């Protein structure tokens, strides 16, 4: 019922106007926050200083360690395959060591980058880029929501039900240590990823912890370390790590030495692996 003095409709109009202004302000604030996150927060690039220990292998990405898998003779077990082993090459999409080679056994460390993580990727060791391999999705990128849910619920193994691990787009580079062993870094795209970026080509050299690329939005970055580069694994599933800063493994030899200063004459020539 309206007021007898005629102020009822005016008061109602004022209330509607106030609610409209509040709604527009809230929406505008949300949009501004999203734009800030998308253009500044997401692309932030903090300085990272590698550990003083020259034997320290560093994380390739910021995020949660989802698994540390033992690789034997080029085969690795995945929960998404019900614990069955598959060729490591099915994951990295490149064969960089024959099954009988010492470099075919080692450790695969998975790091899941949430939408809040720094998405810059860094080399775990110093070395030369000896291959770069890109593979498209099969047939489309799957969501990584399952691994995020597993981490939140502390449901181990964290890669259970994560079919994106073998299906999604990925880019793998091989970084050859001065002693000849090759570590691989595999960037895996999420459902909403714009693109995978890697600013290196075959023949380029990288310092330990040097930034070489990034992936947009939530994604994953895995490192394979052959046995010759591992004396101790220093991280465990569920742990949060920082690219270029956190030690994920200790090597029996220095992995911080410049590849140009200590590259043996017998080292094999770089090879481009085409998709």
The predicted model scores a pTM of: 0.81
Please check whether residue 95 is in contact with residue 146, taking contact to mean a CB–CB distance below 8 angstroms.
no
pLDDT of residue 261: 47
Would you give the distance in Å from CA 173 to the centre of its chain?
13
pLDDT value for 167: 94
What's the chain's Rg over C-alpha atoms?
Answer: 24
Burial code (b: 16+ CB inside 10 Å, e: under 16) for 40-56 equals eebeeeeebebbeeebb
Enclosing H/E stretch for 232: strand 232-233
Neighbours of 73 (CB within 10 A): 14
pLDDT in tens, the chain (275 residues): 445 455 566 666 777 778 887 777 777 777 666 555 555 666 788 999 999 999 999 999 999 999 999 999 999 999 877 778 999 999 998 887 777 788 899 999 999 998 888 989 999 999 999 999 999 998 899 999 999 999 999 999 999 999 999 999 999 999 999 999 999 999 999 998 768 999 999 999 999 999 999 987 769 999 999 999 999 999 999 999 999 999 999 999 999 976 554 444 334 333 433 33
Spatial CA neighbour of 143 closest among 214, 192, 194: 192
Catalytic residue set: 219
Percent helix / strand / coil, the chain, rounded to 5: 20, 30, 50
């Amino acid at each position: 019922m309206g007021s007898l003095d005629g102020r009822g409709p005016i008061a109602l109009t004022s209330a509607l106007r106030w609610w409209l202004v509040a709604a527009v302000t809230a929406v505008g604030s949300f949009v501004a926050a999203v734009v800030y996150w998308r253009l500044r927060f997401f692309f932030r690039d903090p300085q990272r200083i590698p550990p003083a220990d020259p034997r320290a292998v560093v994380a390739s990405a910021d995020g949660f360690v989802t698994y540390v898998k033992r690789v034997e003779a080029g085969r690795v077990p995945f929960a998404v395959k019900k614990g069955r082993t598959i060729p490591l090459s099915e994951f990295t999409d490149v064969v960089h060591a024959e099954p009988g080679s010492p470099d075919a056994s080692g450790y695969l460390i998975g790091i899941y980058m949430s939408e809040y993580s720094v998405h810059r990727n860094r080399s775990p060791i110093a070395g030369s880029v000896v291959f770069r391999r890109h593979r498209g999705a099969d047939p489309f990128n799957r969501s990584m929501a399952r691994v995020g849910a597993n981490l939140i619920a502390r449901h181990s193994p964290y890669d259970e039900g994560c079919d994106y691990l073998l299906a999604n787009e990925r880019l793998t580079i091989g970084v050859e240590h001065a002693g000849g062993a090759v570590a691989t870094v595999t960037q895996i795209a999420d459902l909403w990823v714009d693109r995978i970026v890697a600013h290196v080509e075959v023949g380029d050299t990288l310092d330990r912890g040097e930034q070489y690329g990034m992936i947009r939005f939530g994604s994953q970055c895995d490192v394979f370390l052959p046995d010759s580069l591992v004396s101790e694994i220093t991280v465990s599933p569920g742990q949060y790590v920082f690219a270029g800063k956190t030690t994920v493994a200790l090597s029996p030899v220095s992995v911080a030495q410049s590849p140009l200063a200590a590259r043996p004459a017998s080292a094999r020539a770089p090879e481009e692996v085409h998709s």
